[in-house]
C-alpha cells in the first residue's frame, strides 16, 4: 500500500501542475506570456496557491523521508497545511537543516522526492549548491521539471524583453550553473536564438559580440564589467555595440544603484535580472518587467506567485512579516516534481509590494531588488552591514576600477578592522581617492575604514562569481 500511496500522491500533484500550466506553447498576447496568470487577480492567485498547497503536502509526506520526519516531529499531518494561511504552522527550513540531512543520508540526502528508481526512470539532470559543511547539496531534477522550467523562464524572459528576432549571448561556463541551463532551455522553447559563450577568453567573447551582433548579453554582473573593459582595450566602444539589454543572475546588480549605473552607462543598455535559488526556485522566482524602474528611482522585481509562495520573515524570530515591512525571503516552491519545498529560507533582504504595477502584472514585487543574504551579513565592531552596501559606496567613486577587495583582519590589540583595496589611475598620489572611498563607505555604515589605492590591473579579472570579501579575522 505504501508504494500505491506514493504513486497516487505523485499523480495527483502532477495533475494539479498540468491544470495550471496555461499558454504553454506561446505568448498569449503581445504583452504577456500568460495573461491568464501574469495578470490574474490577487484572489485568483491565492486560490491557485491554496489548491497547489493542498496537493503538495501529501506528495511531500509520501515521497520525501525528510519531509515525513519533519511532519511527524512537529506533530502535523499533510491535512494540517492546506492553504497559504496554514504555512505559519510550518517552521522555515534553512540550508543548515538540509546539510545535516545530507550528512546523515549521503550522497543525495532525502529532501527531494526522487529515490534512485524514479531518478533512473525519470531523471533529467542534477545541480549542486554549496553548503556550510563543505559538501555540495545535490538536487536531482526530472524531465517533467525541465518542461516546467521552460515555461516559467519563458514567461520571465518575455517580461524582461526577450523576443523572436533577437539573439542572446549566454556567457557562462555551463557547469552546474542552474540559471544558465534554465535560460538556455527557455530560449529554445521561445524560438529565440542563443549563442553559447562558455570556454572562451574575454577577447574571443568580445569578438563574438562584434561579429555576430547579439542584442542581449546574459552573464554575471562582474563578467559584464570585464567584457566591457576588454572591448575598450581592443579599441571598440561597448556603447556602440549591438547589445541593447544586459541580463544578469547569480549576483546582486540591479538593486545596487552605483553598479547598475556603471553597467548601463558602459554599454548604453538596460540592465534586467532573474532572481532565485537552486534549492526552492531553480527556474526564475523573480524577474524584471517593463516598469522595473520606479518613479522614486528604486528598481522592482516581480515574484512569480502562481508558481511559488513568497514571504518575508524576521531573521531572528522567524515570524512572518506583513507586506511593506523589510525582511528576508522565504519560498514555498509549487512548481516541481523533484524539489517542491515548504518555506525554504532563501535569505535575501527586501520589502514587498502587492499593489498594482504599471506593467499590468499583478504579482508581488520586491522593492529595491535583493541586496544581501542574511548569511552574508558582516559584523564589525558591533556594526552590521552587507557586502552590497560596500559595493555601492566603492562604485560611487569616480575612476575606481571594476575589481576591488575588502580585507577584514585583527590587529595586535585584538581589535577587528577593515581595509578596502581599490584600483585607480591616481595610485601614485592617492590621497584624494583614499578620502573619497573612505567617506563613501563611512557615510553608509558609520565605520572608519582603511583604504589602499593600487595600480590598475593589480587584481585578477573576475571570470565567475566575484569573491571580494577576504575575512582574515582571529575567530578564536
Pairing of strands 168-170, 341-353: unpaired
At 92 the pLDDT is 97
* 66 close to 110: Cβ distance less than 8 angstroms: yes
* Cα distance from N-terminal residue to C-terminal residue, the chain: 54
Q: What are phi and psi of 267, to 5 degrees?
A: -110, -5
Smallest CA-to-CA distance from 385 within 409, 418, 413, 415 is with 418
Alpha carbons 76 and 171: distance in angstroms, whole number: 46
Helix, strand, or coil (residue 379): strand
Confidence at residue 7, expressed as pLDDT on a 0 to 100 scale: 93
- Domains of the chain, with CATH numbers? 143-371 (3.40.50.12780), 378-471 (3.30.300.30)
Averaged in consecutive runs of 10 residues, what is the pLDDT profile of the chain (476 residues)? 86 97 90 94 98 98 97 98 98 92 92 91 85 68 94 96 94 79 94 92 95 96 89 97 93 81 95 90 91 90 96 94 94 95 93 94 93 69 75 88 89 80 89 90 82 90 74 74
Position 132 scores a pLDDT of 44
- Using CA atoms, how far apart are residues 305 and 85, in angstroms rounded to an integer? 15
Q: Rounded CA gap, 322 and 471, in Å?
A: 35
CA distance 97 to 66: 10
Residues contacting residue 117 through CB under 8 Å, at least 6 positions apart: none
Residues in CB range of 437: below 8 A, 6 or more apart: 393, 394, 397, 400, 420, 422, 451, 453
Cα gap 363→359, rounded to integer Å: 11
Report the C-alpha gap between 183 and 170 in whole angstroms: 9
**How many Å apart are CA 21 and CA 74, to the nearest integer?**
33
Cα–chain-centroid distance for residue 66?
Answer: 25
Rounded to whole angstroms, the Cα distance separating 378 from 385 reads: 5
pLDDT of residue 373: 65
Please state the pTM of the whole predicted model.
0.83
Q: What does the pLDDT read at residue 476?
A: 52
Rounded Cα–Cα distance for residues 193 and 183 (Å) = 11
Contacts of 32 (CB under 8 A, 6+ apart): 38, 39, 158, 360, 361
* Backbone φ and ψ of 354, nearest 5°: -105, 20
Distance separating alpha carbons of residues 439 and 441, to the nearest angstrom: 5
Q: Are 252 and 370 in contact (CB under 8 A)?
A: yes
With vertex at residue 61, the alpha carbon angle to CA 56 and CA 62, rounded to the nearest 5 degrees, is 100
Per-residue buried b or exposed e for 205-222, using 16+ beta carbons within 10 Å of the residue's own CB: bbebbeeeebbbbbbbbb
State residue 374's pLDDT score.
Answer: 60
DSSP 186-252: HHHHHT--EEE-TT--HHHHHHHHHHH--SEEES-HHHHHHHHHHHHHTT--GGGSS--EEEE-SS-
DSSP codes of every residue in 111-174: SSS--HHHHHHHEEEEEEE--TTSSPEEEEEEHHHHHHHHHHHHHHHHHTT--TT--EEE-S--
CB 247 within 8 A of CB 136: no
Under DSSP, is residue 395 helix (H, G, I), strand (E, B) or coil?
helix
Under 8 Å between Cβ of 256 and 271: no
Amino acid at each position: 500500500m505504501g508504494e500505491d500511496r506514493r504513486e497516487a500522491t505523485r499523480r495527483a500533484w502532477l495533475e494539479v501542475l498540468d491544470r495550471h500550466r496555461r499558454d504553454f506553447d506561446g505568448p498569449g498576447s503581445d504583452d504577456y506570456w500568460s495573461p491568464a496568470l501574469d495578470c490574474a487577480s490577487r484572489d485568483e492567485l491565492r486560490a491557485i496557491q491554496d489548491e497547489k498547497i493542498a496537493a503538495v503536502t501529501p506528495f511531500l509526506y509520501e515521497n520525501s523521508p525528510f519531509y515525513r520526519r519533519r511532519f511527524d516531529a512537529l506533530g502535523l499531518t499533510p491535512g494540517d497545511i492546506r492553504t497559504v494561511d496554514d504555512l505559519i504552522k510550518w517552521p522555515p527550513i534553512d540550508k543548515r537543516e538540509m546539510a545535516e540531512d545530507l550528512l546523515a543520508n549521503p550522497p543525495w540526502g532525502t529532501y527531494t522526492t526522487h529515490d534512485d528508481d524514479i531518478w533512473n526512470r525519470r531523471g533529467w539532470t542534477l545541480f549542486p549548491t554549496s553548503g556550510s559543511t563543505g559538501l555540495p547539496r545535490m538536487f536531482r531534477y526530472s524531465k517533467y521539471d525541465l518542461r516546467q522550467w521552460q515555461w516559467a523562464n519563458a514567461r520571465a524572459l518575455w517580461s524582461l524583453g526577450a523576443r523572436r528576432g533577437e539573439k542572446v549571448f549566454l556567457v557562462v561556463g555551463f557547469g552546474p550553473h542552474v540559471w544558465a541551463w534554465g535560460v538556455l532551455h527557455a530560449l529554445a522553447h521561445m524560438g529565440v536564438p542563443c549563442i553559447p559563450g562558455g570556454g572562451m577568453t574575454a577577447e574571443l567573447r568580445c569578438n563574438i559580440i562584434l561579429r555576430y551582433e547579439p542584442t542581449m548579453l546574459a552573464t554575471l554582473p562582474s563578467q559584464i564589467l570585464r567584457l566591457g573593459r576588454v572591448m575598450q582595450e581592443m579599441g571598440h566602444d561597448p556603447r556602440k555595440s549591438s547589445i541593447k539589454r544586459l541580463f544578469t543572475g547569480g549576483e546582486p546588480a540591479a538593486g545596487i544603484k552605483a553598479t547598475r549605473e556603471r553597467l548601463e552607462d558602459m554599454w548604453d543598455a538596460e540592465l534586467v535580472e532573474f532572481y532565485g535559488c537552486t534549492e526552492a526556485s531553480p527556474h526564475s522566482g523573480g524577474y524584471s518587467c517593463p516598469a522595473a524602474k520606479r518613479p522614486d528611482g528604486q528598481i522592482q522585481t516581480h515574484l512569480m506567485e502562481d508558481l511559488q509562495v513568497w514571504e518575508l520573515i524576521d531573521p531572528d524570530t522567524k515570524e512572518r512579516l506583513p507586506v511593506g515591512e523589510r525582511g528576508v525571503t522565504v519560498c514555498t516552491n509549487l512548481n516541481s516534481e523533484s524539489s517542491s519545498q515548504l518555506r525554504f529560507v532563501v535569505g535575501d533582504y527586501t520589502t514587498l509590494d502587492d499593489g498594482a504595477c504599471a506593467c499590468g502584472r499583478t504579482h508581488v514585487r520586491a522593492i529595491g531588488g535583493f541586496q544581501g543574504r542574511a548569511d552574508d551579513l558582516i559584523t564589525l565592531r558591533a556594526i552590521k552591514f552587507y557586502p552590497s552596501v560596500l559595493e555601492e559606496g566603492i562604485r560611487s567613486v569616480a575612476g575606481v576600477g571594476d575589481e576591488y577587495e575588502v580585507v577584514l583582519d585583527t590587529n595586535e590589540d585584538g581589535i577587528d578592522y577593515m581595509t578596502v583595496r581599490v584600483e585607480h589611475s591616481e595610485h601614485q598620489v592617492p590621497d584624494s581617492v583614499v578620502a573619497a572611498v573612505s567617506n563613501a563607505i563611512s557615510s553608509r555604515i558609520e565605520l572608519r575604514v582603511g583604504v589602499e589605492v593600487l595600480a590598475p590591473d593589480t587584481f585578477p579579472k573576475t571570470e565567475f562569481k566575484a569573491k571580494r570579501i577576504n575575512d582574515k579575522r582571529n575567530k578564536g
